[in-house]
């Protein structure tokens, strides 16, 4: 069994530095054995906000998938910041995804959020099998394509 | 005191088979003593998606109430799948309801979501008394009328 | 170290009576060491619903900030109702904020929700440092400016 870090490397993915929160809150909080991240945006290297736009208008569905993947890497980076080692993540409990998607494109939203789900499954294997809730919005703050939250049970 | 299954029968309600997830995630996850379902749609028998449309446009408020009731039965079916016997449900902790509702009808949304709340109260009695969060959207994926999530504390 | 009640007084804030739920659910539920409130509206004294309107249209951004502050006081009142004494709140784990905001104003939504975050930080200090999730809607039930949920870990 490879570790989550090894799988990231095998997938050619690199964890960005955990982004700071964009306002007066924490990027993650621990309560008991649970870590809850705040909403994670598609930051590259914690500095450049990528994938600005509404899916179906300025962005394609495939770009939406990539935005979810990148936001999920940022969320995983928060989990690592919280517990030090991703092997201490026992289970990804829930994925919350808000998707910025144009009128007439909402049926594509589950496929877009699969960009997050499949990243979790690929990186964490059985431990990555999560429940999820999806929200679709006609417009989102900073024009971002998505906002991703993870809940993880940890050792 | 009758059991949850007895109350379902008294109410003339039948639990559908727990629907499979519509994408790359699990229909429920357990963490500690908590079960979290994923978003549940108004599937009949896990096969036919009912109540497609926006409340106030293609659907009436009463149809919205029925959609919430049916989605809640699917969510209860997930809880049963998770713990085997609904008597092991100690408490319904939270109901999350996303409602697909037209401009000018959002004031009806709490009444629509009461279709879910009242089902929980009728089936679980004191154990069904839950907190809730409501979200109203002008459009939802697959054109569904609602999406329901339950959190339950279990033995 | 002053108590949360002392800080409220220093800030010139008064806890309203905990508002009753507006439908068939509970204003808060406890599960293990966690309290989850239901969505809290900007009620004054549990009787008058203030700040009706969409931010950027009927309401200014500053009024949105005030609405979040007031809803948060109602949420804190629910926590007090749940545990009797705010000193038993070990940590505010998560803030959920739904913001009713007009087209073109979503970039102001984080600033609006800071009205909630900064109230939590001011009242609870280190214990108030929370994760958060923001949702922006073009329309909300009862025309309210915001809906606020708190999760707290308690003794």
Distance, CA of B102 to CA of C28 (rounded, Å):
29
Shortest Cα distance, chain B CAs vs residue C18, angstroms: 14
Cβ contact (<8 Å) for B93 and C26?
no
H or E segment at A136? strand A131-137
Chains near B with 3+ CB pairs less than 8 A apart are A, C
Residue A78: pLDDT over 80:
yes
B119, closest residue in chain C (CA to CA): C24
Q: How far is B2 from chain A (nearest CA, A)?
A: 31
Q: At B149, which CATH number?
A: 3.30.1330.40
Chain A partners within 8 Å of C64 (Cβ): none
Per-residue pLDDT at B44: 94
Query: Would you list the DSSP string of B53-117?
Result: S-BTTTB-HHHHHHHHHHHHHHHHHHHHHHHSSGGGEEEEEEEEEEEEB-TT-GGGHHHHHHHHH
pLDDT at B25: 95
Q: Tokens at residue A27, please? A: 């990027």
Give, in order, the Cα–Cα distances in Å from A108 to each of A147, B4, B53: 16, 37, 16
Quick check: pTM over 0.95? yes
Helix (H) or strand (E) run with residue A100 in it: strand A89-100
Report residue B103 as tokens.
Answer: 């401009």
Cβ proximity of C140 and B106 under 8 Å: yes
Q: So what's the pLDDT on residue B23?
A: 76
Q: What is the pLDDT of residues B94-153, one digit of tens each?
A: 999 999 999 999 999 999 999 999 999 999 999 999 999 999 999 999 999 999 999 999
Give how far Cα B16 sits from Cα of A32, B37, B54, B99, Å: 35, 15, 24, 21
Q: What is the pLDDT of residues B61-79, one digit of tens each?
A: 999 999 999 999 999 999 9
List Cα–Cα distances, C66 to A122, C43, C58, C97, C114, in angstroms.
44, 12, 14, 13, 10
**Residue among B129, B136, B151 whose CB faces C137 most closely:** B136
Residue C38 pLDDT exceeds 80: yes
Residue A40: partners with Cβ closer than 8 Å, 6 or more residues away: A19, A71, A72, A74, A75, A78, A147, A148, A149, A150
Q: How confident is the model at residue A73 (pLDDT cuts 50, 70, 90)?
A: very high
Of the partner residues A26, A96, A135, the one whose CB lies closest to the CB of residue C130? A26
CB within 8 Å: C117 and A36: no
Three-class secondary structure of residue B119 per DSSP = helix
Any residues with CB less than 8 A from the CB of C12 and at least 6 apart, and which? none
State how far the Cα of A127 lies from the Cα of C11, in Å rounded to an integer.
45
Nearest to B38 among A121, A133, A151 (CB): A133
pLDDT averaged over chain B?
96
What's the pLDDT score for residue A109? 97
SS3 B136: strand
- B25: closest CA of chain A, how far (Å): 6
At C78-129, the pLDDT tens digits run 999 999 999 999 999 999 999 999 999 999 999 999 999 999 999 999 999 9
d(C-alpha C43, C-alpha C71), whole Å = 7
User: Would the pLDDT of A81 be above 90?
Assistant: yes
Distance of CA A10 to the CA centre of its chain: 19
CA distance C106 to A137: 11
Q: How many domains does chain B contain in total?
A: 1
What is the domain range of residue C102?
3-154
């Amino acid at each position: 069994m490879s570790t989550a870090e090894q799988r990231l490397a095998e997938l050619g993915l690199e964890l960005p530095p955990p982004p700071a929160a964009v306002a007066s809150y924490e990027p993650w909080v621990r309560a008991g054995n649970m870590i809850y991240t705040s909403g994670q945006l598609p930051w590259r290297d914690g500095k450049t906000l990528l994938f600005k736009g509404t899916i179906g208008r300025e962005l394609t569905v495939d770009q939406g998938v990539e935005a979810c993947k990148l936001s999920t890497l940022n969320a995983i980076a928060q989990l690592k910041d919280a517990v030090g080692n991703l092997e201490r993540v026992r289970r990804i409990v829930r994925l919350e995804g808000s998707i910025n998607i144009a009128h007439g494109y909402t049926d594509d939203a589950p496929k877009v959020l699969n960009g997050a789900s499949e990243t979790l499954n690929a990186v964490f294997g059985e431990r990555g099998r999560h429940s999820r809730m999806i929200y679709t919005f006609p417009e989102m703050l900073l024009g971002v394509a998505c906002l991703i939250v993870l809940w993880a049970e940890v050792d």
